[in-house]
Structure 1
Amino acid sequence: MFNIKKAKQFAVNKYNALYKETIALFEKFKNLLNTNIEIGLYHFYKGNISDAKLRFWLISIFHSNLPIVWYNIGRCHFAVGNTNKAYTYLTKTLKLDSNYEEASYYIKKMTNPVPITKLPKNLIKQYFDYTGEYFVEHWLIAKQYRGHEFVHMVITKIFNDSASGLNILDLGCGTGICGHFLKMHNIGNRITGIDISNRMLNIARGCFIKGKPVYNELIHMEMTEFLKQEKEYLYDVIIFAEVLHYLYDLQTELELAKKSTSKKGVIVCLIRRKEGEGVDFVNKGDYFRHSESYIKHVAKKINMQINYMSYCKIYGSQVDGILFALQHPQKKSKNLT
């Protein structure tokens, strides 16, 4: 009897050990898959398309049923102009998962049967996740990004000497360039930053002025979802600096921002400018451009007045932009146009 008990216990112990080894092996393969996808995406966003494609091909040998693999192989081909091959792999992605939004989006970019009016949010998030580390070097220094300077100019024009006590919401704050610049110039008593990319926020968390964090709060969330939430207080300034060009229709976001703005507060926006009328989609850059007339139309629809508007160059002498500020209708208008 004793030997039978020992044999049973031995069998149970062996089973438990085998089970643990199987789970550990599964986790190892899972981590290996995620690591290889990470490396592939890293190369893709660095512009090393051949290295990225090779990495995804290696993954496909062991995971041929994963839509994410064929999607990334497809957009690697798209990136180098092989649209026929890109189409083949993207349609293969949709056969495995008909709801794969990013694959559908790329097929629309190639075939363009109907105008594109929506960008996949995951595509935006992923872009900033993998480019945030060189944002300062590439965009701020090399490309001479000036958005933070424009925002600072508008806030000081509107609030003058009272700018230091403002409660500011920086939507799409990214690496914290705007908040850092404002604090350097003693603007803002409290600054809250919102961004869809946690990797960008990790950089913003490293922004300090005189030993104190620039941002009082940094929240990892899509900006529209944040604006829909109940707020404890209203903001004196809400900033949309180079984020609205990922939206076709701006009315929803601006109307939500209006509800979160104090009566004498301001919504400061920097967008990419379209000449003429309406809105258009820039296929090569994955963004939208909005016209001056469109901005005026939206402002009227949401019953806000434009207190400032001017044309500008967002990056040095490149990329046409419109800088504008919206406020609740005031008894005495302080129009700064």
Structure 2
Amino acid sequence: DAFEKELVGTLAYQGHVLVVDGLLDAAGGRTTDFGTVLDVGCGTGLCGEIWAKRGCTSRLVGVDLAQRMLELAESKGVYDELHCGDIVEYMDGKIDDASVDAVLSADVFIYIGDIGDVLKSCARVLKPGGRLSFTVEALKDGGEVRLLPCGRFGHSSSYIRELAARCGFEVQVERSVDALRHQGGVPVKGGLFVLRKA
């Protein structure tokens, strides 16, 4: 697919690798018996593909707004289920409380801005001890969350930490990322977070 080749090849996109490896590191390197893992904003299935390449075992469920992206994700053969819809509406309408072991979200929050509702929904569906692994674009000059000139949102560490605490998460991993991807030949700085539900 041209979109995926552009993203991973030309733009040197790394979000999917960071999110999966961040979760595995937080879980002590364990790759088996993850139970149910939800990939929110799964797109073409890049996270699912890395998940499978790392030898991870789980019931892997993907959700995305774009049906065409889901068709590409399905072609990878790594998801047990794929659903088309808004990630918060899907979680709130289709997933029971404390029924998910982990949530992956690579470069999704950069299109949402205020991620309060997403984190609340993730906290509700995750089992105690469950983890949420995600990437964000960094704010260079302070603030909490702001629309950047590129049309994506940047989130500050303090914003994420405060929101995580309000939603019942502890920050297990916070890592600065020098290049989530490249845009116009310039690295896009970001961050990886892994939150653990108390």
Does TM, normalized by the shorter one, top 0.5? Answer: yes
Q: Which amino acid aligns with 2:110?
A: H
The percentage of counterpart residues that share the same residue type is 25
Q: Which residue of 2 aligns with 1:184?
A: 53
Q: Which residue of 2 aligns with 1:261?
A: 126
1:204-215 equivalence runs, <5 A: 204-207=73-76, 213-215=77-79
- 1:270 equivalenced with 2:131 (yes/no): no
Aligned residues: 191
1:11-160 equivalence runs, <5 A: 133-160=1-28
Query: How many Å separate the matches in 2 of 1:297 and 1:264?
Result: 19
Q: Is the 8 A contact 1:155 1:163 kept in 2?
A: no
- Correspondent of 1:290 among 125, 145, 155: 155
Work out which structure has the larger RCO, using CA pairs closer than 8 Å and 6 or more positions apart in sequence.
2
Q: Which amino acid aligns with 2:73?
A: A
| Larger strand fraction of residues | 2
Q: Is the 8 A contact 1:269 1:325 kept in 2?
A: yes
- Correspondent of 1:223 among 82, 87, 102: 87
Query: How many Å separate the matches in 1 of 2:195 and 2:29?
Result: 20
| Larger helix fraction of residues | 1
C-alpha deviations, 1:245-282, integer Å up to 9, x for none?
Answer: 11221111101111111111100110111122211112
- Correspondent of 2:43 among 163, 169, 174: 174
Q: Is the 8 A contact 1:172 1:240 kept in 2?
A: yes
Q: Is the 8 A contact 1:168 1:188 kept in 2?
A: no
TM-score, with length taken from structure 2: 0.90
- 1:314 equivalenced with 2:183 (yes/no): no
Query: How many Å separate the matches in 2 of 1:291 and 1:161?
Result: 28
Secondary structure of the 2:38 match is strand
Query: How many Å separate the matches in 2 of 1:231 and 1:218?
Result: 13
Is there any run of 5+ residues in structure 1 with no aligned partner, and where?
Answer: 1-132, 208-212, 330-337
Secondary structure of the 1:254 match is helix
Q: Is the 8 A contact 2:19 2:105 kept in 1?
A: no
C-alpha deviations, 1:155-211, integer Å up to 9, x for none?
Answer: 22122354221121000100001101110111132110101000011111110xxxx
Q: CA deviation at 1:145?
A: 0.7
Query: How many Å separate the matches in 1 of 2:162 and 2:24?
Result: 26
Query: How many Å separate the matches in 2 of 1:160 and 1:249?
Result: 30
Is there any run of 5+ residues in structure 2 with no aligned partner, and where?
Answer: none
Secondary structure of the 2:128 match is strand
- 1:327 equivalenced with 2:196 (yes/no): yes
C-alpha deviations, 1:279-334, integer Å up to 9, x for none?
Answer: 11124x322111111111211222211000011020157111110011122xxxxx
Query: How many Å separate the matches in 2 of 1:247 and 1:294?
Result: 14
What's the C-alpha RMSD, in Å, of the aligned pairs? Answer: 1.6
Q: Is the 8 A contact 1:239 1:267 kept in 2?
A: yes
Q: CA deviation at 1:222?
A: 1.2
Secondary structure of the 1:174 match is coil
Q: Which amino acid aligns with 2:28?
A: N
Q: Which amino acid aligns with 1:191?
A: L
Query: How many Å separate the matches in 2 of 1:216 and 1:255?
Result: 25
Q: Which residue of 2 aligns with 1:246?
A: 111
Q: CA deviation at 1:239?
A: 1.1
Secondary structure of the 2:75 match is coil
Query: How many Å separate the matches in 2 of 1:174 and 1:268?
Result: 16
TM-score, with length taken from structure 1: 0.54
Larger Rg: 1
